[in-house]
Structure 1
Amino acid sequence: MPSRRVLPVVLVLALPLLAGCQSFGFTSVSDTMYPTLEKAQESADAAKIPQLVPDDARSIRVAYDTEEGGQVMSFTSAGGLTDDGCREARASGEPAFTPGWWPAEQLPADGWACGDWTVVADGDRYLVWD
């Protein structure tokens, strides 16, 4: 029969494992910022950058959930979207998740549909989600 001291020690050691990776600071969301499109295209996230992001894009944020799915992005651009497949449309749906940098206020109702991507603009800042 285990001693009375062993059980509390086992519980203390097992609790983080039972609580999951978040108890260690791990999360299923990857969130990275790139200063330019060139830097984003040179990164491990290059495949996550859709063609709608223009060459002059700056402050590119890419966040995606590796377990639940979904991706959100933001970038600034004076030139606007570059994908010919984009068409003006009402913003549809909502992002699968919202990282801390995502705006808390209501998003614009009008934007663009770019294939599987929804895009809205606030001045020269673009918000993108799938």
Structure 2
Amino acid sequence: MNIFYSDELNKKGNKKPRKWLSFCLLVIFSISVLSMVGIPLYNAYSQRNPIDKQCTIISAEVFNSRSGTGGLSTSSTELKIRTQECGTVYVSKVLSPSPAGSWEEMAAELDGFRGEQVVLVFPPFQLPAEGDYALGYGYRL
């Protein structure tokens, strides 16, 4: 068996392995560039074009979540708003100007509107979530 067999095939004009490799590298490069450009563009568009929805407030609270495995852990703080029409809305990023200074102040302010309708702000595109929750950008009074 000749160890240079594959090189001889390539010299004879069989360039399928190199074309396939070039195609795969081109696809990987294109996806990388699209994600590096597309994600910031999507975030900018979402923040400039939010959607307002009228939702009746059931309750509002500060929600702290922690997760991690193998010695690595992460924690996040969000505003958890329970509503009748919009389900449970989690707000981790508030569009400026912010309605209040801290998560606790926002939760207390919204909790004062129990049973009343408040305008909640959502991103323009949102993938369907499991269960009865949505991601939001905050609220407007």
The reply to whether TM is greater than 0.5 is no
- Alignment TM-score, normalising by the size of structure 2: 0.30
- Structure-1-length-normalised TM-score: 0.32
> More relative contact order in 1 or in 2 (CA 8 Å, sep 6+)?
2
